[in-house]
């Protein structure tokens, strides 16, 4: 049915009923979004579509009576959530990982997805496992980190291209840091090959300079706006990039009742697939922000590495790694990364200084 919903003057959002008078499911697309309107009895009032632009959403929803609106997390969901919330609507951002009934359906299409979102939101919003988007200010500060990550990916692609292109000529470049790669190429390669690869080498050198500039920007942003991220850098292995990414990704330290929940939020807990007596050991869920998870794993590798300082966390991780098995070291790194996430959140919440040997007597030094 294509009956249009009557438009009324926007009112302030009050307490939501268990079954709202109007529920809307929106399947967001890059250019067009599909809409499905349900009344309190679950009857379809309207199926339509509109352009995925702020102007179109404003014209359609600004004057609409407050409704419960369900959308799926994606590229457009942050600005759509912020816009619709300003209009007084209750917006539920569905966790895409939990919507198997939509993503794996054998009759998946945009109209059907919008209707399913609406019906789930009308009956029981908890089915959607709603998530909360960061505010626009935090999202803007994250651009610095995301742009830096993109530059690193571009540089890695260019470096791998140079190494691959030169191998058919019998040359293999020795291992070196990415910052010194261009210098190493010009030193080890014959001049004719260096000249042919000059465009790529110039791009790598330019990307290195831009990454170093982004590093300085991250440090300045941390010192100027996020003192809590400065305090987190007292933990061994945690630098400005990881500390700022952690603070910006979590957003609000009070969103978690227990610090232990942060590890699950970042996908650092094992997956579960129990069935009867069968309970296999699986890998981590890899839910949440993948970039922050990668940074925490890198920090854990430093903690357990040869240059890691002696701390309670390092001792705990090394004991795990010593248990043997082919993947003992990998499991220890993931476990330390999870415990590191919990530690960072706890320090952020309590505002207490970091203690390397919390609850353990400080080791005696011998002269």
Return the DSSP state at 189: S
Topology, domain 22-128: Nucleotidyltransferase; domain 5 (3.30.420)
Instruction: Please state the rounded mean pLDDT for residues 308-331.
Output: 88
Per-residue burial over 307-330, b = 16 or more CB atoms within 10 Å of its CB, e = otherwise: ebeebebbeebbebbeeeeeeebe
Neighbours of 55 (CB within 10 A): 9
Enter the tokens of residue 358. 């919390």
Please state, in angstroms and rounded to a whole number, the distance separating the CA atoms of residues 139 and 142.
5
Q: Side by side, which strands form the sheet with 22-27?
A: 44-51, 32-39, 22-27, 68-72, 90-94
Answer for the pair 338, 260: CB distance below 8 angstroms, yes or no. no
Sequence-ordered list of residues with C-beta below 8 angstroms from that of 188, at least 6 positions apart, any chain: 171, 173, 174
Q: What is the pTM of this model?
A: 0.78
* Residue 346 predicted with pLDDT over 80: yes
Continuous segment of H or E residues that includes residue 38:
strand 32-39
Please state, in angstroms and rounded to a whole number, the distance separating the CA atoms of residues 258 and 349.
10
- How many secondary structure helices (H) and strands (E) does the chain include? 14, 5
- Residue 277: its pLDDT value, please? 63
Please state, in angstroms and rounded to a whole number, the distance separating the CA atoms of residues 190 and 211.
28
Question: What is the residue extent of each domain of the chain?
Answer: 22-128, 137-225, 226-362
Mean pLDDT over the full length of the chain: 87
Q: From the CA atom positions of the chain, what is the Rg in Å?
A: 26
> Tens digits of per-residue pLDDT, 232-284?
999 999 999 999 999 999 988 988 889 999 988 898 887 655 556 665 666 67
Instruction: Please state the rounded mean pLDDT for residues 96-110.
Output: 66
- Residue 279: its pLDDT value, please? 54
Please state, in angstroms and rounded to a whole number, the distance separating the CA atoms of residues 78 and 58.
15
Return the DSSP state at 69: E
What is the residue-wise DSSP string for 207-223?
HHHHHHHHHHHHHHHHH
């Amino acid at each position: 049915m294509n009956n249009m919903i009557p438009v009324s003057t926007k009112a302030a959002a009050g307490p939501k009923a268990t079954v709202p008078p109007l529920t809307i499911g929106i399947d967001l697309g890059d250019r067009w979004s599909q809409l499905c309107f349900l009344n309190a009895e679950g009857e379809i009032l309207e199926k339509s579509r509109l352009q995925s632009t702020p102007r179109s959403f404003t014209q359609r929803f600004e004057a609409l009576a407050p409704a419960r609106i369900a959308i799926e997390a994606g590229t457009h969901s942050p600005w759509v959530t912020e816009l619709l919330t300003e209009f007084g609507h209750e917006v539920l951002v569905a966790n895409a990982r939990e919507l198997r009934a939509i993503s794996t359906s054998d009759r998946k299409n945009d109209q059907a997805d919008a209707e399913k979102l609406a019906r789930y939101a009308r009956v029981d919003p908890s089915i959607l496992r709603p998530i909360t988007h960061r505010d626009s200010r935090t999202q803007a500060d994250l651009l610095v980190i995301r742009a830096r990550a993109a530059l690193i990916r571009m540089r890695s692609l260019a470096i791998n291209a140079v190494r691959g292109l030169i191998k058919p000529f019998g040359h293999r470049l020795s291992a070196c840091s990415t910052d010194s790669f261009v210098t190493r190429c010009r030193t080890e390669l014959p001049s004719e090959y260096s000249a042919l690869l000059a465009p790529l080498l110039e791009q790598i050198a330019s990307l290195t300079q831009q990454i170093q500039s982004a590093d300085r920007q991250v440090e300045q942003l941390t010192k100027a706006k996020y003192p809590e991220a400065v305090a987190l850098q007292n933990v061994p292995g945690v630098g400005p990039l990881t500390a700022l990414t952690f603070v910006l990704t979590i957003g609000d330290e009070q969103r978690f009742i227990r610090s232990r929940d942060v590890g699950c939020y970042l996908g650092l807990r094992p997956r579960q697939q129990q069935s009867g007596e069968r309970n296999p050991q699986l890998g981590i869920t890899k839910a949440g922000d993948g970039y922050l998870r990668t940074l925490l794993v890198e920090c854990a590798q430093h903690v357990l590495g040869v240059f890691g300082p002696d701390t309670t966390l390092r001792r705990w991780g090394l004991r795990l790694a010593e248990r043997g098995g082919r993947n003992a070291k990998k499991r220890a790194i993931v476990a330390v990364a999870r415990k590191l996430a919990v530690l960072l959140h706890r320090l952020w919440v309590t505002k207490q200084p970091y203690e390397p040997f919390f609850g353990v007597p400080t080791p005696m030094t011998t002269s």
